[in-house]
Structure 1
Amino acid sequence: MAAQGLMRRLPLLLLLLLHPVSLTMSVASKKKAETGPEQPDPNQPAIALRKFDVHIRNGLRMYLLDSHCCSKDDDLGVRVIYPDDEQRWSFRGNWLGSTNFHCKLEWAYGFVEFDAFADDLNFVTSFCGDSSCVWTAKQDGLYLADQNGQLVFKDHWELVP
């Protein structure tokens, strides 16, 4: 008998539980419309299931560049990148917000280890906003293209003895 009463009230309980959510969402939508261009919402996963491309370009003129990149789940293996060529891969972010690709680049005079992609809102909006993260290895260090395509210096080479 008590179960039947609960079953009759269940639709009303669901409506009450869902109503504040829809109200909150409509208020958030109005705020976005008032603030101008759409920016990533820091309370929503910006990376979840979004497709990204990572490029590692060899700008070392006459030198080969060895690249070894991996995530927790995928090892891309060691690749040789010829001058003015690139290594490129695509992936989708995960719901957990833990997508991270770590790379080691090495050439005749040095090496560097870095995170080629980090599931971080600041990193994504500053450098991968168009879903493409572009790294360039040059003789003085490692660069990452910003939203405007300008190369931003990121790291020096560790010198090989």
Structure 2
Amino acid sequence: MYMNNNIDFYSKMGTGLTVKSFLVILVMTSICKITMVAGWIWDDKNTIVIQNGFHSDAYSLYVHCLSSDDDIGEHWLGVGQTIAWSFHVTVTDSTLFHCYAQWDKMKKYFNAIEWEGQTGKCCADKGRVTWVLQEDGLHAIVDDDFRNVHNQEIAKLNWD
């Protein structure tokens, strides 16, 4: 008799649980799909490379880059040497890496990546951008096969 009461109880509740289960599964599936899409977008990394493109090795190129979250550190680059780092942009598209570079008496504060500002939104959503620092200025070059762009200069800054 005790068993029959349990069976009767579950048979009465079965319909309600099925609808509730269906709704829970529907909501969870939707959340998973949104998370997968957002995760795919968020996983899209950007890479910044800074290269010493000077023709003379009389001086090392000093570079120090940082954001509000990450300090890439101080580097002294010989001719042809590079530093590089990868990162995810923030959800609010406010990622900003600013740098200071000096070679002999040439100096420059610049934003290696920004969504708005001095370089006209330079480097945001470009994938991989190489800043080649040379005697005639700082050149931002994108080379990203995924976006079908090959060695295109997207910004040029002059030394101060």
Which TM class, normalised by the smaller chain length? Answer: 0.5 to 0.7
TM-score (norm 1): 0.61
Q: Supply the AA of the counterpart residue of 2:48.
A: V
* Preserved CA contact (<8 Å) 1:141 1:153: no
Residues 93 and 119 of structure 1 are in contact (CA less than 8 Å); yes or no, is this contact kept in structure 2?
no
Please state if 1:137 is matched with 2:147.
no
TM-score with structure 2 length normalisation? 0.61
Relative to structure 1, the CA distance from residue 17 to residue 49 in structure 2 (aligned partners, 3 Å threshold; closer, same or farther) is closer
CA gap of 1:122–1:152, structure 2 versus 1, over 3 A, is: closer
Match of 1:92 among 74, 84, 87: 87
**Among candidates 18, 21, 39, match of residue 11 of structure 1:** 21
Give the superposed CA RMSD: 3.7
Q: Secondary structure at the match of 2:102?
A: strand
- Counterpart position of 1:149: 151
**1:61 matched to which residue of 2?**
55
Q: Report if aligned partners of 1:100, 1:119 keep a CA contact under 8 Å in 2.
A: yes
Count of residues paired in the alignment: 132
Q: CA 1:74 to 1:11, structure 2 compared with 1: closer, same or farther past 3 Å?
A: same
Instruction: Tell me which structure has the larger Cα radius of gyration.
Output: 2
Q: Output the amino acid matched with 2:49.
A: H
Tell me how far 1:122 sits from its aligned partner.
Answer: 7.8
Amino acid at match of 1:93: H
Q: CA deviation at 1:150?
A: 2.9
Shift of 1:111: 1.6
Match of 1:113 among 106, 109, 115: 109
Q: Distance in 2 between matches of 1:152 and 1:95?
A: 22
Find the aligned partners of 1:85 and 1:16 in 2 and give their Cα distance: 53
Q: Is the 8 A contact 1:141 1:157 kept in 2?
A: yes
The amino acid across from 1:49 in the alignment is D
d(CA) in 1 for partners of 2:40 and 2:94? Answer: 12
Q: Which amino acid aligns with 1:11?
A: S
Report the counterpart of residue 123 of structure 1 in structure 2. Answer: 123
What one-letter code is carried by the residue in structure 1 that aligns with 2:88? G
